Homo-oligomer: A and B are copies of this chain.
Amino acid sequence: MSRLLSLAEAVESVVHDGDSVALEGFTHLIPHAAGHEIIRQGRKRLTLIRMTPDLIYDQMIGMGCAEKAVFSWGGNPGVGSLHRFRDAVENGWPHPLKIEEHSHAAMANAYEAGAAGLPLAVLRGYIGAGLPAVNPNIKSIVCPFTGEKLAAVPSIRPDVGVIHAQKADRAGNVLIEGIVGVQKEVVLASKRSIVTVEEVVEEFGPRSPNATILPAWTVGALAVVPGGAYPSYTFGYYKRDNAFYKTWDTIAKDRDSFVAWMKANVLDVGPEVFAAQARKMLQAAE
């Protein structure tokens, strides 16, 4: 049953040093506020799992939270490199980062298999590609009916899954709309979970009979963080701050400017700053 906590309490009680942690959200609903809180609480040696490491993992890696990254595409979408991620891989700064690299198809299937309680995902994948030679977690099975060789990857079953969503109701059920990504899968696949939401409502009210809802009993800690996905976005609430994604390229390029930005915008503030940032994007959208 989901417990309504402050974000600080949620991270404190759910995320431990050394955990495998998946903060998911495919461009949409990226749990930036939760990522910042993990940084503020100084978590170390995390295995960070995420299809698109993105700004959120650039920040966590640059601040030294990560020992390993499991991912399928590590860039700043539409902009370019993740400079902190590259600095860790290429130069070992702030310390070396192990990587386990997959394709999107494999990771999406692996989350699906994790949610389904299976030990592996099977896909027609990686044919003629270089990754199987460098990632021992890409194996194969042979179809007993057709003889076809298919790729197999371990299902993803993180210690902790973290997502952001539109809203929860008083009972603690969570509603997700728009680009739903692997949001539902990562919560169902994880041993523990944190869900941040824009708001808590009395009841969801009229909705599609097939709305994407995580029932309260599948959710761990629940925290209300308005704007918690900024500079990503929350469908129905505020837009993506595409300009910030471009600005990040400059901030992150240099170690000093990165550290200064993190101090001013993460270490010295709290999750309450997200509401104002999202408000700005709401106005921009109107």
Interface residues of A (CB under 8 A from B): 117-120, 122-124, 137, 139-146, 148, 150, 152, 154, 177-178, 180, 207-212, 235
Q: List 29 A-B contacts (CB under 8 A).
A: A118-B123, A118-B124, A118-B150, A119-B143, A119-B146, A119-B148, A120-B122, A120-B143, A120-B144, A120-B145, A120-B146, A122-B122, A137-B145, A139-B144, A140-B144, A141-B142, A144-B152, A145-B154, A177-B208, A177-B210, A178-B209, A178-B210, A180-B210, A207-B208, A208-B208, A208-B210, A208-B211, A209-B235, A210-B210
Q: How far is the CA of A142 from the CA of B122 in the complex (A)?
A: 12
A119-B146, A119-B148 given; 9 more Cβ-contact pairs under 8 Å: A118-B122, A119-B150, A122-B122, A141-B144, A143-B152, A145-B152, A178-B210, A208-B211, A210-B211
**Nearest B-chain residue to A117, judged by Cβ:** B124
**Nearest B-chain residue to A148, judged by Cβ:** B119
A-B interface, 8 closest residue pairs, ranked by CB to CB distance from nearest: A208-B208, A139-B144, A119-B146, A119-B143, A145-B154, A120-B143, A141-B141, A178-B209
**Nearest B-chain residue to A120, judged by Cβ:** B143
* Majority-rule SS of A interface residues: loop
Given contacts A208-B211, A210-B208, contact A119 B145 (CB under 8 A): yes
B145 pairs with A139, CB closer than 8 A: yes
Question: Which residues on the B side are within 8 Å of A137 (C-beta)?
Answer: 145
Question: Which residues on the B side are within 8 Å of A143 (C-beta)?
Answer: 119-120, 152
**Nearest B-chain residue to A140, judged by Cβ:** B144
CB distance from A99 to the nearest CB of B (A): 19
Question: Which residues on the B side are within 8 Å of A148 (C-beta)?
Answer: 119
Q: How far is the CA of A209 from the CA of B118 in the complex (A)?
A: 29
Most buried by B among A117, A209, A235: A209
Question: Which residues on the B side are within 8 Å of A118 (C-beta)?
Answer: 122-124, 150
Question: Which residues on the B side are within 8 Å of A177 (C-beta)?
Answer: 208-210
Q: How far is the CA of A177 from the CA of B143 in the complex (A)?
A: 34
CB distance from A119 to the nearest CB of B (A): 4
Q: How far is the CA of A122 from the CA of B122 in the complex (A)?
A: 8
Q: How far is the CA of A141 from the CA of B149 in the complex (A)?
A: 12
**Nearest B-chain residue to A141, judged by Cβ:** B141
Q: How far is the CA of A141 from the CA of B154 in the complex (A)?
A: 14
